[in-house]
Amino acid sequence: MTETDSQDTKGIVFNFLIELGCCKRCALRFVGDSNTNYDNPTDDVKKLTRKDLGQNSNDENVFKKSKPNPCIICLDLLQDTTLQTMILNPELEKVLEYDSDTFVNYVSLPKAVLIREHSMEICVKEKFPQFFKDRNVIALNRAWSLSIQNKLAQRLEKKYDKNSYLQIQFNTSYVLDKEESLVMLLLEDKSRKHSIQHDPLSCKNVTSSLQTINSELFKQKVSIPPATPTKALDVEQVFYKHDHVFIAGRYCKYARNMFQTPWSGDDIQVEISSVQEKIFDHIENSFSCSAMVFSSSGREDFDVRTLGRGRPFFIKICDPKRTKVSFEKFRQIEQAVKHTKVVEVRDLQFIDRRYLSNIKEGEQFKKKTYRALCIVDKPENLTAYIDKINNISAVTLQQKTPLRVYHRRSSDIRERQIYSLKAKVINGKKNLLELDMITQAGTYIKEFVHGDLGRTTPSLCEIVGGYIDIIALDVLDIHLDFPPSINHKVKNHQTVNY
């Protein structure tokens, strides 16, 4: 086939479709190529009609003829008036509040349109088998997207990007949708397993049924080409949403009466807020988000402080309107949290979601450094106890589920390691000692010291041969280099690097 032949056939197919009652963009989908301009198809249409008919007057007739009824495939989805209705949707005003430079748009199609599309494909393939042998028809939603992208971009003052985090979804409906798609029940593949939620008329199932359906069977039940519709589809709501973004950092907790996340006990009222609330207070405004979810590498008891470089955490920020948060802004948030005096945050930064598993894995495998203030039963034995502690380098523990958490944890004996122990006197205190330990994640430190009524062995009580207990406990370090530490002296240009 020569170039002209091909162009001629295109014209023939195009006019065949127009005469059946397709809109110009639907007709173009069957003959067009990657250069087809769906945004403004006038030139492409002219080329096809002029070549084939050679008369401008017929041109007009073609469109007049197709006007009274909606497009037999897309039910007018691709018509200029429908596109215009979508662009003028007042809800889109709110999308302007997002600071994203890009957007991506989607449309939901009535099932009737999917069935009509399938019918038309069968029709043209039978009529022009040679022409459609190696030709892919441009999908309807793709053509819709190409048709509306530029107009949307102008309206939203953003660029189209198929990978954009800002998603805009247009929903459509069609009053005769149920009526027209009921035929799928007759065509359904009976051999398929039906789950309880299986709805043969869901959009997804209609799409997949159409992919595998027997053409002969389909032709018996569905009009080929599609019947002329009396109604067009309607444009319904528009939904928009920015994907979650994640920020990570490390937090310190300086209070001994503070939970990590809000406490929801029945009878206990905790006056002071949680670490999470203290951090959220200063983040919410910066992102104008709908919700935030806090996660961290483990958690400390409410009477334990977390010091040093702190505990790694991340926050899922849902539907943020603002994501252009600068290096300086993060530093400002850190400063603001610091003013609470009880919580401090460092290394706050955007983080790609694929690194989040680092924090959760750290929860299980990383070592922790603790400092405990311990009280002993007999002041006269203090130095002997300290010597005994410093004489052992490491301990392997067998910990039965501590009584403290037995009501909510399964019954088990867990083996844990204390990698190092170092005790020292505190000036002027005869019954106190300071104990530094490096332990395996998941070790119950308080139980290691007092022994939990002999249920953690060996305990420090056993080791010193007396009674020793923790008065105060601090986490000095969680041995996880995550997220990367931020050098405050060098300005880091990682503003929208999530």
Least distance (Å) between residue 304 CB and other proteins: 10
**Piece in contact with other proteins (CB under 8 A), picked from 19-27, 205-213, 319-327, 476-484:** 476-484
CB of 480 to other proteins, least distance (A): 11
Work out whether 469 is an interface residue with other proteins (CB under 8 A): yes
- In angstroms, the Cα distances linking 435 to 114, 276, 420, 423, 457 are 71, 29, 10, 4, 18
Selected catalytic residue, list 301, 303, 436, 469: 301
Which of 34, 191, 212, 410: binder of other proteins (CB under 8 A)? Answer: 410
Verify binding: residue 25, other proteins, rule CB under 8 A: no
The secondary structure of 126-188 as a DSSP string is HHSTTTTTT-PPPPHHHHHHHHHHHHHHHHHT-EE-TT-SEEEEEEEE-TTHHHHHTHHHHH-
Identify which of residues 206 and 421 has a Cβ nearer to other proteins in the complex: 421
Strand partners, 167: 104, 241
- Shortest distance, position 310 Cβ to other proteins, whole Å: 9
Interacting positions 286-345 with other proteins (CB under 8 A): 305, 307-309
Least separation in angstroms between CB 396 and other proteins:
6
Dist. CA 485–CA 480, nearest whole Å: 11
- Answer for which of 133, 339, 407, 493 binds other proteins (CB under 8 A) is 407
* Long-range contacts (CB closer than 8 Å, 24 or more residues apart) made by 393-399: 393/420, 393/421, 394/418, 394/419, 394/420, 394/421, 395/421, 395/458, 395/463, 397/443, 397/448, 397/456, 397/457, 397/458, 398/456, 398/457, 399/443, 399/444, 399/447, 399/448, 399/452, 399/455, 399/456
Q: Per the structure block, which two tokens stand in for 17?
A: 């479709």
Confirm or reject binding of residue 269 to other proteins (CB under 8 A).
no
Phi, psi angles (nearest 5°) of residue 269: -105, 115
Does position 463 interact with other proteins (CB under 8 A)? The reply is: yes
Query: Any catalytic annotation for residue 266?
Result: no
Residue 453 touching other proteins (CB under 8 A): yes
Q: Which stretch binds other proteins (CB under 8 A): 49-57, 81-89, 142-150, 468-476?
A: 468-476
> Applying CB under 8 A, does 363 fall inside the site for other proteins?
no
Residue 230, phi then psi, degrees to nearest 5: -100, -20
Binding residues with other proteins: total (CB under 8 A): 56
Selected range binding other proteins among 21-29, 50-58, 137-145, 418-426, rule: CB under 8 A: 418-426
Tokens of 439: 């332990």
Give the closest residue to 238 by CA, choosing from 100, 127, 95, 63: 95
Exposure of 14 in the CB half-sphere (CA atoms within 13 A): 26
Q: How far apart are CA 290 and CA 165, in angstroms?
A: 15
Q: Which of residues 375-394 bind other proteins (CB under 8 A)?
A: 375, 388, 392-394
Task: Please select the residue that binds other proteins; options are 403, 491, 492, 494, rule is CB under 8 A.
Answer: 403
The half-sphere exposure of 233 on its side-chain side, counting CA atoms within 13 A, is 33
Q: Which stretch binds other proteins (CB under 8 A): 14-22, 201-209, 231-239, 371-379?
A: 371-379
How far from 31 is each of 28, 61, 124, CA to CA, in Å? 5, 20, 11
**Cβ proximity to other proteins, 92 vs 375, nearer residue:** 375
Nearer to other proteins by Cβ, of 328 and 387: the residue is 387
Q: Does 272 bind other proteins (CB under 8 A)?
A: no
User: Is there binding between residue 471 and other proteins (CB under 8 A)?
Assistant: yes
**Cβ atoms within 10 Å, residue 173:** 12
> In the set 176, 270, 384, 432, which binds other proteins (CB under 8 A)?
432
Site residues (CB under 8 A) for other proteins? 254, 256, 305, 307-309, 367, 369, 371-373, 375, 388, 392-396, 400, 403-411, 417, 419-420, 426, 429, 431-432, 434, 438, 450-454, 458, 462-465, 467, 469, 471-472, 474, 476-477, 479, 485
Active-site residue list: 301
